A and B are shown apart, each in its own frame.
Chain A
Amino acid sequence: NAGVTQTPKFQVLKTGQSMTLQCAQDMNHNSMYWYRQDPGMGLRLIYYSASEGTTDKGEVPNGYNVSRLNKREFSLRLESAAPSQTSVYFCASSESRGLGQPQHFGDGTRLSIL
């Protein structure tokens, strides 16, 4: 049971570099999410996609872009990485957003920006 798969698991970037974090789910879920987790803080929503073809900003979208490539895949792009974006990034999916369905998480991508 793969569930939600994130790649890569670790990445070190230099300030100004760009990269894309990949996420795929095999549970046929409609909604997908990108969060960041910083020490001592709760998760913060970056972007979400309620369904294929739609994306919306969350609490902290600045510096990020997303693409809902198809129902399975939801990618997060950092166009010009900054040290403040050093964090652990989690992708999640749920059957739908409107019914408070539990979210299923990937194992995260640990990103360091030097």
Chain B
Amino acid sequence: KQEVTQIPAALSVPEGENLVLNCSFTDSAIYNLQWFRQDPGKGLTSLLLIQSSQREQTSGRLNASLDKSSGRSTLYIAASQPGDSATYLCAVNPDSNYQLIWGAGTKLIIKP
């Protein structure tokens, strides 16, 4: 059974630092992996989607990498800002079906 883990559950860093959020999954047979952002009291916003054939995706200050063989993905945030404070969730899509398997998220706080 596919399981997705995000460690740590919470992270606090000073503004301006580069940081990495981690996502691990137990079964390397995935169709794609997605990173989402969730602001308090809000829904989720899709940040990046990496297909299984890709190694990384970039959007602005965000870069997501995927290593299927080791069951890991990282979300790199460059030059962090207070506005980046949110909970970041990753989810894997096993074999193009409908059911995303979600991690519990990492709550990120960027201190001014």
- Within A17-67, which residues are at the interface with B (CB < 8 Å)? 31, 33, 40-45, 48, 50, 56, 58-59
**Contact status of A97 and B97, CB under 8 A, knowing A40-B104, A42-B89:** yes
A-side contacts of B43, CB under 8 Å:
4, 90, 92, 105-108
Interface presence of A104 (CB below 8 A): yes
Interface presence of B58 (CB below 8 A): no
- Total chain B interface residues with beta-carbon distance under 8 A: 26
- Total chain A interface residues with beta-carbon distance under 8 A: 27
Interface positions of A (Cβ within 8 A of B): 4, 31, 33, 40-45, 48, 50, 56, 58-59, 90, 92, 97-100, 102-108
Interface positions of B (Cβ within 8 A of A): 4, 9, 31-32, 34, 41-46, 49, 51, 89, 91, 93, 96-105
Beyond A58-B99, A105-B45, 15 extra complex contacts between A and B, CB < 8 Å? A40-B104, A42-B4, A42-B91, A42-B101, A43-B91, A92-B44, A97-B96, A100-B32, A100-B93, A102-B46, A102-B49, A103-B46, A107-B41, A107-B43, A108-B41
